[in-house]
Amino acid sequence: MSVQGGTESGGQIAAGTANAIQSPRGLSVQSADDSPYEDGTWQIDSYGANDAVIFQFDRAVRLESITFAMGDWWDRFGLYLGDDLTYQRDFKVDDLSGFDWVSTILLDAGYLGTRFAIGASEYQACGYSIVQGHGCWSENSAFRITGITFSDVSLEAVPLPPAGAALGAGILALGWMSRRRRAQSVNIEGSEL
């Protein structure tokens, strides 16, 4: 597996336009117009450019879960899949309220491929803001990825009907060999020496 940083614009991921950074606190991205988080580290965020992390595998895998840190319960991420990193849908990063929680998002079994990306998304928030009063406004997402779970799907299952036919043929062959042995033992016992 290889990991690369990128940015999202208009539903398209541009690979190589940002740096993927692995630290003890998780996987993050540093793009040209980013500034570090208050502790001097980076996040995957939608401030300025929408940061994205691209995962490339040498074989087909099924994406099963993503674990996030440093996200709050409003943050969103977009999932992109395939060679052209086609947008799939947005997910909530966390279903917990609070900040700096670790949250694992389980994905359904439909996300298969050799290449996928996770990008920070802007979203609409509606309600009451001390600054803006009642209404709706655009919010940014920010988080780190601390783990992904995937399974290998390149193993091909052995089809049962041919296996069943082979088993049947084997049983018939054993029966034929047993009958042939019995016939040979009768000939040896019945022959004169």
Q: Are 52 and 171 in contact (CB under 8 A)?
A: no
For 129-185, how does the pLDDT look when each residue is reduced to its tens digit (9 = 90+)?
677 677 777 788 888 899 999 988 765 655 656 666 777 777 787 777 777 676 665
**CA-to-CA distance for 25 and 43, rounded, in angstroms?**
10
pLDDT digits (tens, 9 = 90+) for 111-133: 889 999 999 988 877 777 677 67
Could you list the beta-strand ranges (E) of the chain.
Answer: 2-9, 12-23, 26-31, 44-45, 50-71, 76-81, 86-92, 101-106, 112-121, 123-129, 133-139, 142-152
pTM, entire model: 0.70
State the pLDDT at residue 70: 79
Instruction: Please give the helix or strand (H or E) that residue 165 lies within, else none.
Output: helix 160-190
Contact yes or no for 32/18 (Cβ under 8 A): yes
Place of tokens 């949250």: 103
Per-residue pLDDT band for 43 (boundaries 50, 70, 90) equals: confident
Closest CA to 3 of 52, 66, 41: 52
* % of the chain at pLDDT higher than 90: 14
What are the pLDDT digits (tens) for 46-83? 888 889 999 999 999 999 888 888 777 678 888 998 88
With H, G, I as helix, E, B as strand and everything else as coil, classify residue 44: strand
- Under the phi-then-psi rule, with left for phi > 0, alpha for psi from -120 to 50, and beta for the rest, what region is 192? beta
> What residues form DSSP beta bridges with 22?
27
For residues 84-101, b (16+ Cβ closer than 10 Å) or e, as one string?
ebebbeebbbbeeeeeeb
Alpha carbons 158 and 112: distance in angstroms, whole number: 20
Q: What is the pLDDT of residue 56?
A: 95
